[in-house]
Amino acid sequence: MSLRYRQEFSEAGDVLDPQVPNANQNELISEFNGGLDRDNLLNTAISEAQIVDNAFTKLHYAAANGAIPTSTTIRSWLPLSDNVLTLTLPQDCLLICEWGGVWAWLGGYTTLDYIAEDAVAFRITIDGTDLCVSHWFGSSAEYNSTHIIGATPVSAGTHVVQVEVFLSRVKHNNLQFSSDDMQSFVIVGARELVIEERRR
C-alpha cells in the first residue's frame, strides 16, 4: 500500500466533530475504493481472464466517406450529421474525443488574397459546449485535412458528442470575420469521430 497521510488531528479541548475521524477513515477507504493500482496489487494478482470487456475503456466511433457540401451562406456552426454520437454512460468517466477529416474548396476556389479569403474551422462539442476547436483554414489551399482532439471528465448519464463546421470570409490581418460574401464552399470528404470512454 502506498503511504497515506492523516488528514485531521484532534487536540484536548476541541469541539467534537464526527467529520474529523471520518476524514481519516476515508483516507484509507479511498485507497481501496477506486484507488487500486500497482501500489497495492501484486503484478499477477489479477489475470486478464478476470477482467470483463470494456471494464476500463470503451471505444465509440462514427465514420463516413460520403461528401457533405456546405452552403456559401453559412455563418454559424453547422453539425456534420454523420459525426454525432449519443452516449449513455453508466458512471462518471473521462471522455477523450478526436476527429479527423479531409475537405476541398469548390465553386469558385480562389488563390491567395492578402486582404481576405474564405475560411473553414471545425470543432467538437459535448452537450453543446466546446471541447476543442481547430484554427481557420483558408481557401488558398484547395485541399486540406486536420485532426483535433480534446478530453474532459463527464458525469454518468446521456451525453451528445458532435462535430461541427463553420464557414466565413475572414481578414488576413486579424482573422476577424469579413462582411463580404463568400466566393467558394467546402465539400467535406472522409472523416471519423472516435471517442474513448475511460473509466476508473
Residue of 90 and 167 predicted with greater confidence: 90
More confidently predicted of 111 and 103 = 103
Does residue 139 surpass a pLDDT of 90? Answer: no
Number of H helices, E strands in the chain: 1, 10
For the stretch 13-39, pLDDT in tens is 777 777 777 787 777 777 666 566 666
pLDDT at 185: 75
Entry pTM: 0.71
174 pLDDT above the threshold of 60? no
Top-confidence residue, 114 or 82: 82
Q: Average pLDDT of 170-193?
A: 71
* Residues 106-120 pLDDT 10s: 765 555 555 667 788
- Tell me if 185 sits within 8 A of 107, measured CB to CB: yes
pLDDT at residue 177 in the model: 62
Task: Name the average pLDDT for the chain.
Answer: 80
State how far the Cα of 29 lies from the Cα of 35, in Å rounded to an integer. Answer: 9
What is the C-alpha to C-alpha distance for residues 23 and 185, in angstroms, rounded to an integer?
60
